Amino acid sequence: MDILKKGTVRQVFKSHGIQLGSGAMETLDDDISRRVNAMAKRCSEGRIKRLTPDLFWVALGNYNLDR
């Protein structure tokens, strides 16, 4: 599953003077995919039907925030 735009990610790293080695994009994409899936699972478990900026804390798992 390609979640990231490769050109955008490469540009961000390049702007910080970092070269991406072989396999780095696949590893980054895998990590982001896992994080997004975890966020979606938290929303589902919290019975969130539509994720909004006000409810983003649920996706992040920050249940102890002052709201």
C-alpha 49/C-alpha 9 separation (Å) is 30
pLDDT at res. 35 = 94
pTM above 0.85, yes or no: no
C-alpha 43/C-alpha 14 separation (Å) is 34
pLDDT at res. 23 = 92
Confidence of residue 66 (pLDDT cuts 50, 70, 90): low
Angle made by CA atoms 44, 49, 54, in degrees to the nearest 5: 100
pLDDT at res. 3 = 74
What is the per-residue pLDDT across 4-42, written as a single tens digit (0 to 9) for each? 788 899 999 999 999 998 899 899 999 999 999 999 999
Name residue 43's amino acid: C
